Amino acid sequence: MAKSASRGFRFDYATPLGILVALVGIVGGLIAEKGDIKDILQATAALIVLGGTVGAVLVTTPLPTFVSACRRVVELLLVRSPDRREMIELIANFAMKARRQGIISLEQEADQVSNPFLRKAMNLAIDGTPLQDIRRQMELEITMAERRADAAAKVFDAAGGYAPTIGIIGAVMGLIQVMKQLDNLEEVGHGIAVAFVATIYGVGIANLFFLPAASKLRARVAEETEIQELILEGVTSIVEGLNPKLIRIKLEAYLDQDQQGKNGASGGSRSRAA
């Protein structure tokens, strides 16, 4: 029962789908205007924008924070979000057993909990840690997790700010090369078109990846924080010796409205059946 409260990773289709829709829209608009995809495929422009952006971010950001942000890229595609209903059921079961046999009886089950936050909070409670100290310690962990996630998100925010500017630098560099060929008007026209591709890359990667990535990471940590607050509220309620039914009702406030509606409807059906 304990292990079911924390599910494995699930793939987040929204991230690749969003990028795909954006690219289809942009490329589709280009083709609709009778453009050619080759017009925007410039390896040199990509090198300037990506290299310059990464370099600027490294200057701005401490290396450990930069590495941490790179590792969090996987969170854009894979998300581990425990089922809130299962978590509530698990905590309610813990509360019932603690009420009947004492909180010490949960020691073995607590060690088998797969969610590290719940496992730590339960072990503190079982060890007899004062309620205020449990809350203080676990709230500290929540705060530090939020700070680390926000620091990673700021890395992508910084990249989203630098990329368009680096794109402009790439465009200017291209125009410098164009100015060397003013005696050949055909080459000048082609060179100007190529020069502005760097600007497209800078603005595009900032608004299609870096800035959205920062927002999604913040959304991830907000969801995780709610789960941790649910757990902390449940564990402290167990320590306080509250009625398991009251604990369940309290924790159901963390469910969204649809889930609460379904739970209320199912509860009403059970009542009528009884």
d(CA 265, CA 259): 10
CB 103 within 8 A of CB 121: no
CB 9 within 8 A of CB 79: yes
Tokens of 1: 């029962």
* Domain-wise residue ranges, the chain: 53-78+85-262
d(CA 95, CA 205): 49
pTM of the model: 0.78
**Reduced to 3 states, what is the DSSP secondary structure of residue 39?**
helix
d(CA 195, CA 200): 10
| Of residues 137, 139, 109, the one with CA closest to residue 124 | 137
Residue keyed to tokens 């009251």: 246
pLDDT tens, N- to C-terminus, the chain (274 residues): 444 444 557 888 899 999 999 999 988 888 888 877 877 888 888 899 999 999 999 999 999 999 999 999 888 888 777 788 889 999 999 999 999 999 999 988 988 888 899 999 999 999 999 999 999 999 999 999 999 999 999 999 999 999 999 999 988 888 887 777 767 666 676 677 777 888 999 999 999 999 999 999 999 899 899 999 999 999 999 999 899 999 999 999 988 755 555 555 444 444 333 3
Strand partners of residue 78: 11
CB 218 within 8 A of CB 149: yes
Element at 76 (helix H, strand E): none
